[in-house]
Amino acid sequence: MGERTVSWLIYTCLLGLIPVIARLFVWSISNSGVDALDISDLVAFGLVLHSANEVNRISRSDRNWKTVHNGMSVLFLVLYALLLFAVIASPSNLNRSALLDTTLLLSVVSFALSWNVFKRAQADMEVSP
């Protein structure tokens, strides 16, 4: 694994996972009823991934490809914002289990999209003079 890959994993992914890691730590050492995973933690992870969009670093790529991935990032940012609003606005009226499953799926897809963009940006940098 290259230095840029490790750097991206640490400074983007690990930074985005700080709320998840902190909650898991508190959950593992306490009996306070803290859930092991929460929707807001996964929303934070997704927001970090899409905010740190690497598409703009790609110079040689197809313009259409860049537009599609920027649009996907904006769409995911809106979805995460709506999820966060739903959790904050009406916590008692929600099916938290379904929302957690949905947010977990969105987080996995966000990671896959971000990984794809990162790898394409990395390949573009290796080809560029």
The 10s digit of each residue's pLDDT in 66-124 is 888 888 999 999 999 999 998 888 777 888 899 999 999 999 999 999 998 888 877 77
Q: What's the pTM?
A: 0.85
Q: Pick the closest to residue 63 from 71, 74, 73 (CA basis).
A: 71
Q: Are 120 and 58 in contact (CB under 8 A)?
A: yes
DSSP state of 93: G
Using only C-alpha atoms, what is the Rg of the chain? Answer: 17
Residue 4: CB partners within 8 Å, gap ≥ 6?
Answer: 122, 125
